[in-house]
């Protein structure tokens, strides 16, 4: 039987055989040299990259194809973070439409770049009641999928847990969205969840509870396509304030999460959004390697 996404048949993207680690954005030392970007990742032992289109997807088709070629050559799993200023429930129709078109463009470029997941924030509630905002966001994403996703089926739409309370993107909202919209899988940003929970999602019990909620609701759709963001984070009563390094004075502690992943046999992609993302990715990978060595 084929798996289902959003209630309709959808061929799953190739299931990952190994846990993947990588940075959000290019290494600074590559200085725009694409070949160097992938050489650095490969030599560091990293196997994923989240292309940063956070200020808009501005690359040309030829360069997009080169990115896809180099990713394949170096066996790097690609995702893309779409523009920060997407706002699907905006107060203005013009902003809503522009937001949809940014996601349409990302889906159309995905096969050129080898991108398998389009990560994005849906935006604010636009001054609407949450239930009304949800309906607008859901319908907008279905329009996006119908326009550019369902025919190529080369990448998932991957809405992300939001770090601020005034933004659409709670656990329940993301689960519901991925249940109702074709081609959607969740992006779990553990730092954002830590901020939204005011520091509570930081131990084995709470990590397990979140993973169980997603798996119970979405099944193989979630398990076979796990996409995680990790970093340290500062937060206020409003939620996320700023990202910080992993493993220092800032939470969350991702070691309990690493332990669960290893024990259960999940195969997620970990994308580091720390201020030095390669260092963060290597830190997360080191935790896994250390855990598995100790627990053999």
Beta pairing partners, 78: 49, 115
Please report which helix (H) or strand (E) contains residue 147, including its range: none
The per-residue pLDDT for 95 is 97
For residue 11, name the pLDDT band (cuts at 50, 70, 90).
very low
User: Region 103-122: what's the mean pLDDT?
Assistant: 97
Fill in the DSSP letter of residue 237. T
- pLDDT of residue 35 exceeding 70, the answer is yes
CA distance 295 to 270: 21
User: Region 145-153: what's the mean pLDDT?
Assistant: 88
Question: Tokens at residue 161, please?
Answer: 């847990």
User: Region 45-50: what's the mean pLDDT?
Assistant: 97
CA distance 176 to 139: 13
Q: How far is CA 161 from the centre of its chain?
A: 9
Residue with token string 């995905």: 110
The per-residue pLDDT for 112 is 97
Per domain, the residue ranges of the chain are 19-294
Out of 118-127, 149-158, 216-225, 270-279, which region has the weakest mean confidence (pLDDT)? 149-158
Q: Which of 254, 172, 248, 250 is nearest to 217 (CA)?
A: 172
Answer whether 27's CB lies under 8 Å from 33's CB.
no
Helix (H, G, I), strand (E, B) or coil at 122: coil
User: How far, CA to CA in Å, does 242 sit from each of 233, 234, 288?
Assistant: 6, 5, 25
Helix (H, G, I), strand (E, B) or coil at 203: coil
- pLDDT of residue 79 exceeding 60, the answer is yes
- pLDDT of residue 6 exceeding 50, the answer is no
Question: Tokens at residue 185, please?
Answer: 């899988």
Q: Which of 138, 135, 186, 191 is nearest to 159 (CA)?
A: 186
pTM to 2 decimal places: 0.93
- Residue range 205-256, pLDDT digits in tens: 999 999 999 999 999 999 999 999 999 999 999 999 999 999 878 999 999 9
Q: Which of 9, 1, 17, 10 is nearest to 224 (CA)?
A: 17
Pick the CATH number of 19-294 from 3.20.20.150, 3.30.70.890, 3.30.70.60, 3.10.20.30: 3.20.20.150
- pLDDT of residue 10 exceeding 60, the answer is no
- pLDDT of residue 5 exceeding 70, the answer is no
The per-residue pLDDT for 16 is 52
Inter-helix orientation angle 171-180/204-218, to 10°: 20
Q: Tell me phi and psi for residue 280, to 5 degrees.
A: -65, -40
**What is the rounded average pLDDT for all residues in the chain?**
93
CA distance 24 to 125: 26
CA distance 109 to 52: 13
- pLDDT of residue 96 exceeding 50, the answer is yes
């Amino acid at each position: 039987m084929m798996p289902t996404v959003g209630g309709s048949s959808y061929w799953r993207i190739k299931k990952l055989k190994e846990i993947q680690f990588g940075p959000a954005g290019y290494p600074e030392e590559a200085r725009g040299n694409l070949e160097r970007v992938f050489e650095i990742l490969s030599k560091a032992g990293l196997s994923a990259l989240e292309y940063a289109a956070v200020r808009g997807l501005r690359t040309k088709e030829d360069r997009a194809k080169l990115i896809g070629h180099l990713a394949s050559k170096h066996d790097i799993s690609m995702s893309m973070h779409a523009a920060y200023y997407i706002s699907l429930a905006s107060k203005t129709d013009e902003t809503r439409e522009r937001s949809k078109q940014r996601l349409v463009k990302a889906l159309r470029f995905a096969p050129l770049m080898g991108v398998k997941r389009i990560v994005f924030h849906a935006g604010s509630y636009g001054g609407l009641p949450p239930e009304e905002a949800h309906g607008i966001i859901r319908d907008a994403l279905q329009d996006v999928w119908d326009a550019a996703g369902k025919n190529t089926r080369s990448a998932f739409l991957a809405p992300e847990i939001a770090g601020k309370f005034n933004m659409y993107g709670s656990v329940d909202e993301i689960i519901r969205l991925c249940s109702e919209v074709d081609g959607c899988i969740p992006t779990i940003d553990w730092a954002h969840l830590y901020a939204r929970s005011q520091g509570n999602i930081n131990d084995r019990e709470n990590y397990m509870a979140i993973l169980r909620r997603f798996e119970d609701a979405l099944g193989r759709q979630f398990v076979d396509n796990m996409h995680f963001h990790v970093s340290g984070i500062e937060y206020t009563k409003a939620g996320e304030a700023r990202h910080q390094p992993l493993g220092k004075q800032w939470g969350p502690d991702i070691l309990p999460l690493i332990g669960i992943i290893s024990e259960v046999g999940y195969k997620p992609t970990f994308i580091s959004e720390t201020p030095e993302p390669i260092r963060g990715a290597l830190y997360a990978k080191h935790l896994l390697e250390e855990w598995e060595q100790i627990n053999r």
